[in-house]
Structure 1
Amino acid sequence: MTTRRHVLTVLAAAPALTACGGEHLPDPTAAWRNPGAGEHDPRRFALAHAILAPNPHNTQPWLVTLEGDDGMTLYCDLTRRLPFTDPLDRQITIGCGAFVELYRLAARQLGFAPVVSPFPEGESSPRLDAKPVAHVALGARSNASTDPLFAHIAARRTNRNPYDTARVPHLADLRGLADAAYERGAEVEWATEPERVARLRGLIWRAFDREMHTPGALAETYGWLRFGHDEVVRHRDGLAVEGPLIGPAKFLAMFSRANMLNPNSEANKQALQQWRQKIDASPAFAWLSMQEDDDTPTGRLTAGMAYARMNLAATAAGLALHPWSQGLQEYREMADIRSALRIALQNGENFPHMLVRVGYADPVEPAARRGVDALFGNAAGRAQQSERD
């Protein structure tokens, strides 16, 4: 998701920096191991799976309240949005939809037939606000069938490694992605033909480069970068900077705010070179769309539910997936590329919400997660306070 969850993988913290107290802090990836184990409330079991949902920049923009014996209400943590690059909160809403879908899958695994009510107090427009994003009622236990996608929740990853250009995804597997998303009303199309793939690579690179040279977008991404192990374990969110070790002094100089916000700095030049190589090594692309008249907050939430299913279907098929949706974003500086990309996707009346590269790659470690308890507190009050701020 963004989809623009790009990480600068040029450098990482030296041992002296990574050891600064991190060993006494929670394991940032513990949530991926046997999620929900020991939970007695089925809603907490479901939440332990929901927090593993894909979401933009790993912002984890979720707050929840539990009502009665079977209710869960989801709010957006308005402090965890991406106001510059995601001015309509499209990607944040998609991340909320993915959360809801994984919650639903986990509840079904326990024999419930959950009922999802999007925006129960009315849609928020043009951006999300303090009103709830969704309510999910577990209902009574029944003989509801489980969904085979549930088994792949803890194995799902966003894979930013280089992809094998010699291995194009099989048509049957791509159709599996489409079938999974279609259960939520979305359509998935793809490009595997060399000429079309090359054209999309060019547009995606232009979008990535544009974002790196747009000060507001670059600053927003910088705010979600986590440099070295200590920062990762302290925040348990954001984008981890990974790569070969260097000395502490050089680390601090390379990753100073001034350097990271300068697109012509050595760190960013190396990052651009590496990401260009990854774009050029993409064997195929796929995109998820909804009908044009479904481009509403509810439609975006549904698109997120569909994207979660598409991502899990890719995991089941052994495919790697990595969002490249920079060119679909709605800030002013991206307008010309967004128009060109929509033409290239040939979607007709459909509105594209997600664009990903898809293929085969070496596995990656899971991203950090804050855990179930971080979802709680006075969710409605925190959302309202964030709105006032």
Structure 2
Amino acid sequence: MSVRALETTTVTSLVEDAAAAPSMHNAQPWRFRFLRADDAFQVYSDLERAMPRADPTTRGLHLGCGAALFNLRVAIAHAGWAAVTELLPDPADPRLLAVVRLTSPTLTDDGPEEDLLPLYPAIARRHTSRQPFTGEAIPEAIKDSLSAAALLEGVRLAFPDVWHIHTLLDLVHDAEGRDDMDDAASEELRRWTRVGPESEKTARDGVPEYAFGPRRLYGRGTVRDFAGRGLVPGRATAAFEDAPQLAILGTVSDRPRDWLMAGQAMERVLLEATLDGLATSLTSQALEWPELRWTVRDPQSAMGFVQMVLRLGYGPAGPGTPRRPVDDVLEIV
């Protein structure tokens, strides 16, 4: 069977898996094009889904697109094809973030795609959890495997010590206060929330009310409250962790290529964590304020730039959130 035997239904399925990736406010800021003549997927950014207030540099947008790119790589490997990925292949078109070329209909025993195969079941299972986690400690062996997973994508994942975690929690609290006082930030958040039964039914993107999780009664959880300044009738309250288990994902440099690498590493870590039985969520509030982002890093670490803070632990998995129809994000030419 040749690579060109890839049917439209298969292409659609691969992109559907790719689009299961997390993105800031579930904006899903990606588009895909499959070039039949070249046996290649192109991954584009969708700048209409950018967030000028929270993400003016589009760093967060690139992270989400990188996560979708990683899911695409996993799905292609699961389908049995070998592929090579090139980041930012056209300097004249910065919206073109990556090209994934199918090179063979058969994976080799020692190819780089082989280690992606076990991750495939986690694509459908991974969901952001905004619920409280238990106090059960994550074993060191699992932490080591997650750090190794990030390294496979050329990115570092570190687990901060107690002092650094307290600093991170203070920075998140600071960012939450700034967001509450910023009308533009509140309006942008409202744009990506879906409140009410009718809105939830028709939602194709954004964060629906059922995925907000409970309102924090006390504790130092790092979960963003998507209700913002509004009140959601009947919403439960809960006690969150006093000492959440956090990890920071970072790169040496801070350019679009680094952001794409970090997005792929982030998704690899999230999928690995899901297979390990962990619940996960992402924390970017403090990273959205430039004056706070620099202080998120550990000054004694070689990590130059923090790209994401991950909250990991044992607890209920989050619900699935809406996805755009594949026809809206895929073009086959």
1:207 alignment counterpart = 175
Amino acid at match of 1:336: E
Corresponding residue to 1:341 among 286, 296, 307: 296
Paired residues of 2:247 and 2:311 also in contact (CA < 8 A): yes
SS at 2:262's partner residue? helix
Count of residue pairs the alignment pairs up: 306
- Residues 162 and 226 (structure 1), Cα distance of their counterparts in 2 relative to 1, 3 Å cut: same
Structure 2 CA distance for aligned equivalents of residues 178 and 136 of structure 1 = 25
1:123–1:297 contact (8 Å) kept in structure 2? no
- For structure 2, the 5+ residue unaligned runs are 1-6, 109-113, 213-225
User: Residue 204 of structure 1 contacts residue 326 of structure 1 at CA under 8 Å; is this kept in 2?
Assistant: yes
Find the aligned partners of 1:162 and 1:345 in 2 and give their Cα distance.
Answer: 30
Query: Does residue 358 of structure 1 match 2:312?
Result: yes
1:143 Cα offset (Å) = 2.9
Alignment partners' CA distance in 2, 1:199 and 1:364: 27
SS in 2 for 1:138: strand
C-alpha distance in structure 2 between counterparts of 1:44 and 1:139, whole Å: 19
Aligned position for 2:166: 198
Residues of 1 paired with 2:262 and 2:125: CA distance?
21
Partner of 2:96: 132
Q: How far off is 1:281 after superposition?
A: 3.7
In structure 2, do the counterparts of structure 1 residues 345 and 40 end up closer, same or farther at CA, with 3 Å as the change threshold?
farther
1:229 Cα deviation after fit:
3.1
What is the TM-score with the length of structure 2 in the denominator?
A: 0.83
Contact 2:78/2:117 (8 A) holds in 1: yes
Residue 243 of structure 1: CA displacement? 8.5
CA displacement 1:335-375 (0-9 Å, x = unmatched):
33223323x46433521101111111122211111232221
Could you tell me which amino acid in structure 1 is paired with residue 101 of structure 2? A
Q: Which residue, out of 230, 233, 239, partners 2:207?
A: 239
Indicate whether 1:373 and 2:332 are aligned: no
SS in structure 1 of the partner of residue 104 of structure 2: coil
2:257 is aligned, of 275, 285, 298, to: 298
Contact residue 65 and residue 72 of structure 1 kept, 8 A = yes
Alignment of 1:74-223 (within 5 A): 74-122=43-91, 131-144=95-108, 145=114, 147-164=117-134, 166-191=135-160, 193-223=161-191
Confirm whether residue 327 of structure 1 aligns to residue 327 of structure 2.
no
Q: Return closer, same or farther for 1:274/1:298 CA change in 2, 3 Å cut-off.
A: farther
Cα distance change, pair 79–243 in 1 and its aligned pair in 2 (3 A): closer
Specify the code of the residue in structure 2 equivalent to 1:137: R
Between 1 and 2, higher relative CO (CA 8 Å, sep ≥ 6) is seen in 1
The change in CA–CA distance for 1:299 and 1:337 in structure 2 (over 3 A counts) is closer
Distance in 1, Cα, partners of 2:92 & 2:149: 26
Name the structure with the higher strand share.
2
Q: Judging changes above 3 Å, is the alpha-carbon distance between structure 1 residues 298 and 194 closer, same or farther for their aligned structure 2 residues?
A: closer
**1:158, 1:346 → 2: CA distance?**
30
Aligned-residue Cα RMSD (Å) equals: 2.8
Give the equivalent residue in structure 1 for 2:218.
none
Distance 1:337 1:274 in 2: 28
Structure 1 alignment gaps of length 5 or more = 1-38, 245-259, 380-389
Q: Which amino acid in structure 1 is aligned with residue 256 of structure 2?
A: P
1:287 has 2:248 as partner: yes
Quote the sequence identity (%). Answer: 28
